[in-house]
Amino acid sequence: ADVTIYYAPGQKPFGTGTAAAAAQTSLIPGKSYAVLNTTELPPPAPPNPLPSMQFDITLQSSGTPGLSINQQAGFLGFSVEMSVANQILGKNSRSTLIQVPFLNLMSALIERSGRVNVRVGGNTQEQAALVDSLPDGRMLSKGDRSQASNPTATPPIIYTLDLLILMREISNLLNVRWYLGAPFNDTSHLKLDIIEHGQAILGDYLLGMQVGNEPDLFNVGQRARPSEIQTFITGVNNDAAITNKSMLMGPSVSGNGNFTEQQVWDAGFIQPDILNSMSHLTVEHYQDNNCALFFAGIGPLRDPQDLFPNFLKHSAGKSVIQPFINTPNAIAVPNKKPYIMMETNTASCGGFPGISDSFGAALWGIDYSMQLAYSNFSGAMMHVGGLTAFYNVRISSATNESSFHGWSVGPIYYSTLVMAEAMGPTNASQILDLKANNNSDFTPAYAIYENGVPARIALFNYIDDPSGASTYSATVSINGGSPLSQVKVKYLTAPSVSTKYNFTWAGQTFGGVYESDGRIKGDLDVKTVTCNGGNCVIQVPAPSFALVFLSEQAFSGSDTGTTVTFPTTVFTKTLNTATVDASILATSNGH
Ligand SMILES: *[C@@H]1O[C@H](CO)[C@@H](O)[C@H](O)[C@H]1NC(C)=O
Ligand SMILES: *[C@@H]1O[C@H](CO)[C@@H](O)[C@H](O)[C@H]1NC(C)=O
Ligand SMILES: *[C@@H]1O[C@H](CO)[C@@H](O)[C@H](O)[C@H]1NC(C)=O
């Protein structure tokens, strides 16, 4: 009551008011940003009858048959559609404009597995053209969607060398390795410049060059692309600016097109003059597609509610691999070529709202990736699209809102984080599908071995049941060697398979929509389970995923516990801010 408030000239005590929060609408007519979609599908009811809620997992301390081949660190990586590289990686190579959340997200993976592999390519690689410069310091520009002549009508793009320099700058900060895509749509006019410059700029950080993307979907009738690979290879061999002539990757069929992978093999792909040019063999496949949302005439719109249960079971990931199941053992391993699932996710054409962005997709992503590793694939790249895709592992906010919105970290990023930790950094991990609980589709389990010794166990519960009646307990033990006395457990949890954000991995989270700068937040919560006579009982709530660490080495070995983090050092849209020198503020006597 004794205080008098004086207002500066022109300022009056207006009181306070409220206004609507800044809203975001889509730049693409008729399509809203995927992160704004709030669809939470009702979760499927628990199966009736329930699978057994108690079962044993007994591993052998050595000599276990049926393990996968040795898997390299960084098994699960990302496939970034070339046209959105400027949203995901950064604006250009000036290091102030690399996306800080991207660096932080990659750093969290490197903390666990020592490296991350990222592919830049996709449909847009086919019509990508290198230009000397673009206005406003841009490195990438999208053309007119109506000029697109690729299967998903993605607009043609033009790019500058700055895209490759940006990738190199990222690798100078963090151990990120790259796959790049070269166009294969017109073998009478080869465009090899991306290989020439890719090798010169990325050096050892370039892992391979993909020859064409899903050539079986090219709009060229029943033409046999396999024979044209020879033309491409001859072009590479005659190009003096290409120093490494044996880092090509193919055939990258989609499994849905004009010819099958088997037809590519039958057409003579597997012969020395082709294989000598190849560093990897590749394929691309999604579990399903939502293309009816984009294109007329390819069938009715699909209802995500009907499809949700298809993703919430062990046989889901297996079904994606099934068409290619023989390739690893019959073609890739005997010819000493790693076989990579180059582009994949829940559903092509952006995924399904309520499925691709749900906790269920995070469980699906881990199970599917582990199944790929168990099936002797050597790596997999989860696809990242633009702002309208539901399956994104993480996505930036629109440019004009980046000063007040962070990123939204989606389910598949959590899958990648868990995979990095489950497989670890040793390059000597092998994985076994345990076909647990009588091979139940709802409670799958895997064991991960390091140098032949059991290191970690992965336990899934796909059932959605808040009552607790579907929480199962797995009794874990190891035959031979000294009995287990205690194990550590990390959980990936969310209230429901339908939940969209705020999942926790060992108690930590990337939060909700627009909340993340790429650093995981919250207190680490690792459970310790004391074992009784070598038997360790692990509770697995419905739904959740649990990673059991069978030794201290298996625990500390796959998470160094120190993440390099990156601060935001540049701000845009600072025009409405005032700066006051701290020393003046301190003596300003309140003015
Ligand atoms: C950002 O741009 C979009 C498209 O022009 C617009 O709809 C949206 O309102 C803008 N956001 C802000 C905060 O200005
Ligand atoms: C993977 O390869 C290993 C080694 O060749 C083999 O023993 C194992 O059976 C293969 N796994 C599958 C699922 O085919
Ligand atoms: C794993 O392999 C990569 C690539 O060959 C190599 O850079 C890394 O040092 C290896 N890690 C270990 C622990 O040997």
pLDDT tens digit sequence for 288-329: 999 888 777 888 899 999 999 999 999 999 999 999 999 999
CA distance to 142, 235, 314, 387, 574, per residue, from 180 (Å): 18, 17, 32, 22, 36
Q: What is the mean pLDDT of residues 453-478?
A: 98
Q: Please give the distance, rounded to the nearest whole angstrom, from the Cα atom of residue 24 to the centre of ligand 1.
A: 6
Nearest Cα residue to atom 13 of ligand 3? 426
- The pLDDT mean for the chain works out to 90
Nearest atom within ligand 1 for CA of residue 398: 1
Predicted pLDDT of residue 54 = 98
Residue 70 has pLDDT above 50, yes or no: yes
The pLDDT-based confidence of 2 (bands split at 50, 70, 90) is confident
The pLDDT-based confidence of 27 (bands split at 50, 70, 90) is very low
Ligand approaching nearest to the C-alpha of 75: 3
In the block, tokens 């097109």 appear at 257
Q: What is the dihedral of CA 555, 557, 563, 564, to 10 degrees?
A: 180
Q: Is the pTM higher than 0.85? A: yes
The pLDDT-based confidence of 8 (bands split at 50, 70, 90) is confident
Take residue 335 and report the two structure tokens written for it: 């010819």
Q: Quickly list DSSP for 278-345.
A: EEEEEEE--SEE-GGGT-TTS-PPP-HHHHHHHHSSHHHHHHHHGGGTTHIIIIITTTT--EEEEEE-
What 3-state DSSP class applies to 564?
coil
Within 6 A (CB) of ligand 1 lie 22, 24-25, 27, 398, 400-401
* Cα(12)–Cα(60) distance, integer angstroms: 78
pLDDT in tens, 533-556: 999 999 999 999 999 999 999 999
CA distance to 19, 513, 580, per residue, from 370 (Å): 48, 28, 54
What percentage of residues in the chain have a pLDDT greater than 90?
67
Predicted pLDDT of residue 591 = 67
Predicted pLDDT of residue 342 = 98
Residue 233 has pLDDT above 90, yes or no: yes
| Least-confidence region, from 17-31, 231-245, 391-405, 568-582 | 17-31
In the block, tokens 């391979």 appear at 208
Q: Quickly list DSSP for 425-453.
A: SSS-EEEEE--HHHH-SSS-EEEEEETTE
| Least-confidence region, from 24-33, 212-221, 490-499 | 24-33
Nearest atom within ligand 1 for CA of residue 400: 1
Predicted pLDDT of residue 136 = 82
263 lines ligand 3 (CB under 6 A): no
425 lines ligand 3 (CB under 6 A): yes
Nearest atom within ligand 2 for CA of residue 374: 13
Residue 467 has pLDDT above 90, yes or no: yes
What 3-state DSSP class applies to 582?
helix
Identify which has the larger pLDDT, 396 or 462: 462
Take residue 237 and report the two structure tokens written for it: 């061999």
> What region, left, alpha or beta, does residue 164 occupy, with left being phi > 0 and alpha being psi -120 to 50 degrees?
alpha
